[in-house]
Amino acid sequence: MIYVAIYVLLFCIIIMLYHIVSRANDIYSKVLAFNNLLTQVILLISAISIILNSFFLLDIALLYASISFMSTIALMKLMLPR
């Protein structure tokens, strides 16, 4: 069952990359789509961690999640009109 979830996540990542490259018009929707993409990658790392029975990958996923959150906040603060 976890393998099906990994394939679904990979499909969603490909669709989100397509949306970022070709469908998103303004920069705000690109940042939000990129944040969604990073969330999907974090879920993928966590699923692989379950398969490999490795807690080290969960630590990497948590670190990646915090960096993703901080970068999204920084980009939105940078792009907000003053």
Residue with tokens 């939105």: 76
Cα 82 → chain centroid: 28
Range of the domain at 39: 2-79
Split into its structural domains, the chain has a count of 1
- The one-letter amino acid code at 55 reads F
User: Cα separation of 7 and 15, whole Å?
Assistant: 12
User: Cα separation of 15 and 81, whole Å?
Assistant: 30
Question: pLDDT per residue over 21-78, tens digit each?
Answer: 998 888 888 888 999 999 999 999 999 999 999 989 999 999 999 999 999 999 888 8
